[in-house]
Amino acid sequence: MNQYAFVLGHYPEFSALEIFVVLKNAKIKFNVVECAREILLITTDQVIDQDVLPSKLGGTIKLIQILGVISTDKVAENLTEKFRDKNFVDKLTGNIEKVHFGISFYQLNSTVNSYDYFNKNCLKLMKQIKLNLNSLNIKSGFLLPKEPVLSSVSVTKNKLITKGFELIIIFNKNNCLIGKTMAVQPFEDFSFRDFGRPERDSLSGMIPPKLARMMLNIAGLNDKTNYLDPFCGSGTFIQEAILLDCQNITASDISPKAVSDTKQNIQWLQEKYPLRDLNLEISLRDVAELHRQNLNIDLIATEPYLGSPNSKLFTNNQLQKEINMLQELYLNAFKSFAKILKPKGKVIIVLPVFKQKNNYLSLNVLKQITNSGFRQIYLTSQEFIGRKLDFFNTSPRGTLLYGRDNQTVLREIAFFEKI
């Protein structure tokens, strides 16, 4: 039995749901052992490919292979005992003659405070590991961390995966899990696709590539999906769908600038990344006119217009008018979606939530959508794996919120299936 830990991103509910769907689509049977806001721990009879799975995920910071379990008492002494096991050492070092290593400390439902342990014991523990390696004739040096957890940037920049190892110590309920980082989030790629592309439009909204990818994965996009983004904007969803090997993609928008931006950004993507051939159509079209095309869509993943960027300055009456206009836009869009989606076709969509003082104002459209031939799929662990996880913070509407506390407009993610 293999055991793996996933370090979840800033929005752990999104990260966990994405992992569940991607594992299932990869036909990897797994069991969730434990899950907290930072760590998801699973077991599986299968081997996870460190070069394939992490590259598909948008919300996972690290993938860790668990190599053993030790007692929480006397961690240094117990680790020394582990280093007498050649199989453990070989898995950790990868038979590299000279290694560079680091350590990260995590908590998983434990009373042990990882920050306290780090402050009191980290340097001593790293020196002990260096002595352990020297006793095995393995030359080593270590990266002395400033925090209990090494960032994916530090792990990558210091080549800990290719030229050494990052040792992971997870304080669990009754023991310590010892593991090795297999892969980290490709943060440079995500940043490059966000800020390096030629066209960006802050006025029409710019969904982060990580969130677009998580939404596509949660909705079950694969290489055979007939996918549509009817509010393509700058093409963020389209670029992530292409990189996830989707082969049949339709993009449209009512804005000529959005269509032009998407075309330029996709051309740039094709120049920067090795891509497979695909069937891609990008057109200028109102969402209400989509049914006039010969479309037979499996999945719609999109971020429509989220309202005026000046909404934070609106009076109550002005904001209510804005919300009424947006509600009409969304309901008309779903009328169109119902005509072009296959039975059991999916829609995962961003809705705006306006923060006004201490109140959050959402669009009152979910009931009308479900009354128009759609079933809402609640974004909960119970819906996806049949088990309730305590840390999940789903809204009362069965949606997930994405955004910082200081934002005026948050993103609300809702998921539907055509009946």
In tens, the pLDDT along 274-313 reads 888 899 999 999 999 998 888 999 999 999 999 988 888 8
Based on the domain organization, do 151 and 279 belong to the same domain?
A: no
**Cα–Cα distance measured from residue 368 to residue 355, given in angstroms and rounded to the nearest whole number:** 23
Mean pLDDT taken over the chain = 92
pTM over 0.85: yes
Residue 334 contacts residue 372 (beta carbons within 8 Å): yes
β-bridge partners, 64:
5, 181
Q: What is the pLDDT of residues 114-129, one digit of tens each?
A: 888 888 888 988 999 9
The shares of helix, strand and coil residues in the chain, as percent rounded to the nearest 5, are 35, 30, 35
Backbone angles phi, psi at 398, to 5 degrees: 80, 20
pLDDT on residue 342: 97
State whether 202 and 180 are in the same domain: no
pLDDT above 80 for 92: yes
- Considering the domain architecture, whether residues 397 and 274 belong to the same structural domain is answered as yes
pLDDT band (50, 70, 90) for residue 416: very high
What is the Cα–Cα distance from 168 to 149, expressed in whole angstroms?
Answer: 9
Of 128, 157, 185, the residue that ends a domain is 185
Higher pLDDT among residues 357 and 178, named by residue: 178
pLDDT of 381 > 70? The answer is yes
- 220 in Cβ contact with 291 (< 8 Å): no
Closest alpha carbon to 148 in 169, 177, 131: 169
Q: Strands (DSSP E) along 285-320, which ranges?
A: 297-302
- pLDDT digits 0-9 by tens, 202-234: 666 689 999 999 999 999 999 999 999 999 999
* Residues 173 and 198 occupy one common structural domain: no
- Looking at residue 65, which CATH number applies to its domain? 3.30.2130.30
Task: Mark whether 149 and 37 lie in a shared domain.
Answer: yes
Of residues 208, 211, 212, the one with CA closest to residue 200:
208
Report the C-alpha gap between 419 and 417 in whole angstroms: 6
181 and 245 belong to one structural domain: no
Q: Output the pLDDT for position 204.
A: 60
Backbone φ, ψ for residue 307 (5° rounding): 105, 175
| Total number of domains constituting the chain | 2
- pLDDT (tens digit, 9 = 90+) per residue, 333-352? 999 999 999 999 999 999 99
Could you tell me if 80 and 114 lie in one domain? yes
Percent of the chain with pLDDT over 70: 99
**Same domain for 179 and 209?**
no
- Are residue 56 and residue 25 in the same domain, yes or no? yes
Same domain membership, residue 332 and residue 373: yes
pLDDT at residue 398 greater than cutoff 90:
yes
Its domain, for residue 237, covers 188-418
Q: Note whether 198 and 181 are same-domain residues.
A: no
The reply to whether 115 and 78 lie within a common domain is: yes
In 3D space, the residue among 38, 39, 169 whose CA is nearest the CA of residue 102 turns out to be 169
**3-state SS of 191-252?**
HHHHHCCCCCCCCCCCCCHHHHHHHHHHCCCCCCCEEEECCCCCCHHHHHHHHCCCCEEEEE
Q: Tell me which DSSP letter residue 336 carries.
A: H
**Does residue 53 register a pLDDT over 90?**
no
User: Does the pLDDT at position 145 exceed 90?
Assistant: no
Q: What is the mean pLDDT of residues 46-66?
A: 92
Kindly indicate the confidence band of residue 265, based on its pLDDT and cuts at 50, 70 and 90: very high
The count of residues in the chain is 419
CATH of residue 256's domain is 3.40.50.150
pLDDT at 355 over 80: yes
Structure tokens at 327: 């509600």
Quick one: pLDDT at residue 114? 83
